Structure 1
Amino acid sequence: MGGGQSHPSVTEDLLEDYTTLTYLSKGEILYLMKKFKSIDPDKVLADYQHRFSRDKIIQKFDVLRNNPFQDRIFRVFSSKRDDSFSFEDLLDLCSAMSADCPPDVRATWAFRIYDLDEDNQITERDICEIIDRLLDTKKNDQNKLDDESKKKISKNILDEIKLDHSDGISLGEFKYILARFPEFETSFYFRM
């Protein structure tokens, strides 16, 4: 950042680029860089684009620790789909989860996370797994719903939401529905 360098890994030009390309402020970006760098300062100084494993990222970013969609978040936001994050991957995630991210953009990221089988639609199978994740059935078997109940819930959701009478919810339908739920903006977001 020239003579008044406040962070050794981010040049002023790069910081400007990041603020232009994300919904984050300079302060938020520098804060994220500081936390990211603290995972292993030598690795980040040697290679600014170093990729840290999911475990290392979660150790520093508690907000991801208990998220039932943690695996999907890493799948969707990992630019190399290797379950690891570079600093820019982390910026993408934090930008998408920022309070300043437009609902339409946030809905697109949410769709990608909830499209568990990555077939470009949220189907009954996706919804059944989403229910299991939200009920945390891996940790607590008492919360588990039987398959028939999950299918009934999925069918009701699909009947209410899908507009084109297909087998699933498309990205366009997902955005259309979420635009009518003001709670989405406060529920699909986190603070750094």
Structure 2
Amino acid sequence: MGNKVVAFTEEQLDEYQACTFLSRKDILRAQRMFRQLSECHLPSVVERECAASLTVPYAALDTLTELRRHFTPLCLQENPFRRRVCEVFSTNGSASLTFDQFLEMFSVFSEHAPRDIKAIYAFRIYDFDGDGFLGESDLLHTVKHLSHDLLTPDEYSTIVAKVLEEADVDCDGRLSQSEFIHVILKCPDFVPNFHIRI
């Protein structure tokens, strides 16, 4: 018992639980994962400033089995969006995460997060150029990631054109966040596949 690390005060745990869709058990499990990834650079008690500033680089995050197997229909396949997910949750787009960002990522991908929040983050992940729309380039990147870049240029063009034809309500050649959310929430596989189990 003397070797047990006291990661948070009760007040900190209450705060994290109130601000996330995670249980106390999930928060503590995420903290242990983050501690292992940071190679024990975390103090035994994680103060608020430390949780918001100490980062773990993407190279370490990329080793997480939970992140590598997310977004895939088959558990044996790797998640082609793992770097993009980390970029979206990192404030500066570097894909390195602080503990707070790490916890936010697991919160959004938890089974308890509302589907609307999941859809907003899915939009951000697919918005590669960060302009607030899914244009042809964003859709092309998304399809290439999903297909592991195995299709022909004609097949990519056909898929992108079909997506825009189906979802681009205002016919401006790109999808707004609301157009994307309208379509993605109709997909029965979206919520179950937009999930990471801690």
Query: Does the TM-score normalized on the shorter chain lie above 0.5?
Result: yes
1:11-37 deviations in Å (ceiling 9; x for gaps): 211111111111101110011101111
Report whether the alignment pairs 1:56 with 2:60: yes
Say whether the 8 Å CA contact 1:68–1:136 is kept in structure 2: yes
Code of the residue aligned with 2:21 in structure 1: it is Y
- Show the 5 A alignment for 1:62-77: 62-65=65-68, 66-77=78-89
1:97-134 deviations in Å (ceiling 9; x for gaps): 00000000000000000111111111221121212111
- Show the 5 A alignment for 1:37-186: 37-40=35-38, 42-45=40-43, 47-48=50-51, 49-59=53-63, 61-65=64-68, 66-137=78-149, 143=150, 145-186=151-192
> What SS class does the counterpart of residue 196 from structure 2 fall into?
coil
Cα distance between partner residues in 1 of 2:32 and 2:168: 43
Runs (4 or more) in structure 1 with deviation over 4 Å come to: none
> Relative to 1, partners in 2 of residues 1:128 and 1:184: Cα closer, same or farther, differing over 3 Å?
same
Cα distance between partner residues in 2 of 1:133 and 1:20: 34
Cα distance between partner residues in 2 of 1:114 and 1:152: 18
Structure 1 gap segments, 5+ residues each? 1-5, 138-142
> What SS class does the counterpart of residue 42 from structure 2 fall into?
helix
Structure 2 gap segments, 5+ residues each? 45-49, 69-77
In angstroms, what is the RMSD of aligned CA positions?
1.7
Code of the residue aligned with 2:89 in structure 1: it is F
Say whether the 8 Å CA contact 1:24–1:98 is kept in structure 2: yes
> Identity of counterpart residues, as a percentage?
28
Say whether the 8 Å CA contact 1:7–1:30 is kept in structure 2: no
Alignment TM-score, normalising by the size of structure 1: 0.86
Alignment TM-score, normalising by the size of structure 2: 0.84
